[in-house]
Amino acid sequence: MTAVQPTAMMSGRYQRAFTLAVIFLVVSWHLAGAGGQLLHNRSDYSSFAFQGAMWLVMAVAIAAGSVLALRGTPSWRSAWAVALVTLAASTAAAAASPASDMLAVNWAWGAAGWTGLLVLLRRRIGELAWFLAAEAAGILSVQMWDGLHRTDLAGFLAVLAWSTGAQVAVAAGVRALDVAADQAAAAARSEHAARERAATAEIIQAARHTRWLALQESAVPLVAELAAGTADPGDAQVRIRCAVQAARLRRLLAEGDEVPGPLVHELYASADVAERRGIAVEIETAGPLPQVPRPARRVITDAAIAILTDARTHARITLAAVAAGIAVSFVADTGAGVLLPAAGEGVTIQQQQDGGVFWAEARWNSR
């Protein structure tokens, strides 16, 4: 949750930067490389208007591909829609180029390859390979249709090696950078978690120390009074004081070193408040407890406060792991029913009154 967000964002930020670099590369290539080639050879084409139209189709495909790539890994449907449009435009542009000098005047081959790279970059590497192969096959078939010469074949192989090699190299580079970004994010995540654990342990330690100091002020004088005989164990007031201090001591001792989570802390805090009014509160947990989100915790602690406020001398709070959630229960001698705050936020509350004893259970489900 909060621990994952910054690191996921960090890894996402790096990936976005790599995507932007690829977009910059593709757009520059299309404007300067392909566009320049197109203008330079404009007199060689049988129809410059058709070539210009194909160039515009490709530009639209690049724009669409950029939007897709910036939104994350595109679905196979949208990625391949863009890829097939560029493939068609590139093959059509090649077919309309003068046969004799095809490789020199064909601006579309490289542009299509880069556009395909842009949308297929983060999909399986095999898909990019298929695309580049299909594109090369398209160009080769156009050349064969025009009547392939040995020099044409050599030129074809040279262009193939150059452009495909560069595109595969960029794809591999981005992949390596993605992996590095993920690793950096994972390292940051574990460091973040370790820091959070240490911080929580410190808070627990501090809370324990505070309680221990409080004992010095409350339990120690009581024991001293009992020993000196100034407090009479027969006195009901003294017995209540003893019960409260005993409950407090037990809580202090029961606290393990494990990180109990914020819900337990909040209930401990409610118990501390009730104790000041002379209510003995015990808190027990059973099983590994799930983390409860803040809004649900508030519903539970509101119920705790309502019940502890009405308790007369004693309250027991338990937290138990149950299927897909947690059951927090309260048993207190409230004398009468307690008006509980509204349930909600995934928390259901049940209650029962038996004589002077009130029971309520707040159950939170993660589903």
List of residues contacting other proteins (CB under 8 A): 250, 253-254, 256, 282, 284, 286-288, 316, 318, 320-322, 327, 329, 331, 352, 354, 357, 359, 361
Minimum CB separation from other proteins for residue 323, in Å? 9
Nearer to other proteins, 296 or 331 (CB): 331
Nearer to other proteins, 352 or 366 (CB): 352
d(CA 308, CA 338) in angstroms, rounded, equals 10
What residues does 282 pair with on adjacent strands?
Answer: 316
Nearer to other proteins, 183 or 366 (CB): 366
Minimum CB separation from other proteins for residue 235, in Å? 19
Closest CA to 23 of 81, 85, 65: 65
Nearer to other proteins, 44 or 282 (CB): 282
Nearer to other proteins, 127 or 333 (CB): 333
Q: What distances in angstroms separate CA 29 from CA 107, 175, 300, one per listed residue?
A: 10, 21, 60
How would you classify the pairing of strands 325-332 and 280-286?
unpaired
Nearer to other proteins, 107 or 358 (CB): 358
Nearer to other proteins, 77 or 367 (CB): 367
Minimum CB separation from other proteins for residue 339, in Å? 20
Contact of 276 with 241, CB cutoff 8 Å: no
Tokens of 39: 């203008």
Nearer to other proteins, 58 or 264 (CB): 264
Minimum CB separation from other proteins for residue 225, in Å? 19
Nearer to other proteins, 87 or 327 (CB): 327
Minimum CB separation from other proteins for residue 329, in Å? 4
Please, what's the b/e burial string for 157-175 (b: 16 or more CB within 10 A of its CB; e: otherwise)? eebbeebbebbbebbeebe
d(CA 102, CA 107) in angstroms, rounded, equals 9
Minimum CB separation from other proteins for residue 330, in Å? 8
Closest CA to 109 of 143, 75, 145: 143
CB count within 10 Å of CB 207 equals 16
Minimum CB separation from other proteins for residue 259, in Å? 16
Nearer to other proteins, 35 or 261 (CB): 261
Tokens of 144: 């064969």
Minimum CB separation from other proteins for residue 233, in Å? 14
Minimum CB separation from other proteins for residue 5, in Å? 30
Minimum CB separation from other proteins for residue 315, in Å? 9
